[in-house]
């Protein structure tokens, strides 16, 4: 279940870029809000900031959990980062659930983001339970799945850039992206962890 150094580098760079872009919302400057949702965000500032703070934290520290060197040489730091990551997932997931009903695109996109939030909380909780029970291999599998969902923040923005470049209808595209930004991520992570486990057992 090792991630190549190049893959981790790309994952880390993309994650930190999205962290830098998203952190602007924490300036409390409404001019930085998503234009089509500015009025909604202004009336839901608390859950919005809760979601952004948690998600930014999880996305910023998550990639470092995949460093084998850090895990083996600095286990206490690895655990500390893990706790920070899971707290970020918890806070970000709760904020996401609160924001989902008012998501841009209507009920379909709102349901997509709500399902993402639930899956995010469930995978993080399963990863925590596994390590508390001493099931290290299961913990690693669940954390791969959890970060695949955290990484939806990156895939969402990459897809939005593609929509802008192709000049597609934004509202319709956004509704589809509310699902596409995370479902393939999760399916790929489940396939990756399952096939690696099967190979190891064989």
Q: Where are the domains of the chain?
A: 5-201
CA distances from 93 to 4, 30, 74, 160 (A): 28, 22, 28, 21
In this predicted structure, the answer to whether residue 56 has a pLDDT above a threshold of 60 is yes
Q: Quick: pLDDT tens for 160-193.
A: 999 999 999 999 999 999 999 999 999 999 998 8
Top pLDDT among 95 and 67 is at 95
Long-range contacts of 138-145 (CB under 8 A, 24+ apart): 140/1, 140/193, 141/1, 141/193, 141/197, 143/65, 143/82, 144/1, 144/189, 144/192, 144/193, 145/186, 145/189, 145/190, 145/193
Position 2 scores a pLDDT of: 57
Kindly indicate the confidence band of residue 27, based on its pLDDT and cuts at 50, 70 and 90. confident
Q: Quick: pLDDT tens for 77-89.
A: 999 999 999 999 9
Residue 10 token pair: 């790309």
C-alpha span between 170 and 175 (Å, rounded) = 9
Position 195 scores a pLDDT of: 57
In this predicted structure, the answer to whether residue 201 has a pLDDT above a threshold of 80 is no
In this predicted structure, the answer to whether residue 113 has a pLDDT above a threshold of 80 is yes
In this predicted structure, the answer to whether residue 202 has a pLDDT above a threshold of 50 is no
pTM of this structure: 0.90
Contact yes or no for 45/5 (Cβ under 8 A): no
Place of tokens 């899971």: 86
C-alpha span between 95 and 123 (Å, rounded) = 16
Least trusted range by pLDDT, from 70-79, 121-130, 135-144: 70-79
Q: Quick: pLDDT tens for 97-110.
A: 999 999 999 999 99
Phi-psi region of 135 (alpha: psi -120 to 50; beta: other; left: phi over 0): beta
Which are the contacts of 179, defined by CB distance < 8 A and separation ≥ 6? 112, 115
């Amino acid at each position: 279940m090792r991630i190549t150094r190049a893959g981790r580098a790309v994952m880390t760079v993309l994650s930190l870029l999205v962290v830098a872009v998203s952190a602007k919302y924490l300036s409390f400057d409404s001019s930085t809000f998503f234009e089509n949702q500015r009025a909604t965000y202004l009336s839901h500032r608390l859950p919005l900031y809760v979601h952004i703070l948690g998600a930014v934290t999880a996305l910023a520290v998550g990639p470092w959990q995949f460093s084998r060197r850090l895990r083996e040489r600095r286990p206490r730091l690895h655990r500390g980062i893990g706790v920070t990551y899971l707290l970020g997932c918890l806070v970000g997931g709760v904020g996401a659930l609160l924001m989902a009903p008012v998501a841009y695109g209507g009920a379909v996109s709102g349901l997509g983001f709500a399902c993402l939030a639930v899956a995010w909380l469930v995978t993080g909780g399963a990863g925590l339970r596994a390590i508390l029970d001493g099931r290290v291999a299961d913990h690693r599998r669940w954390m791969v799945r959890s970060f695949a969902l955290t990484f939806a923040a990156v895939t969402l923005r990459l897809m939005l850039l593609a929509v802008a470049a192709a000049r597609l209808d934004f509202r319709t595209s956004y509704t589809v992206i509310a699902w596409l930004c995370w479902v393939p991520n999760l399916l790929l992570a489940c396939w990756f962890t399952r096939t690696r486990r099967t190979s190891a057992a064989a």
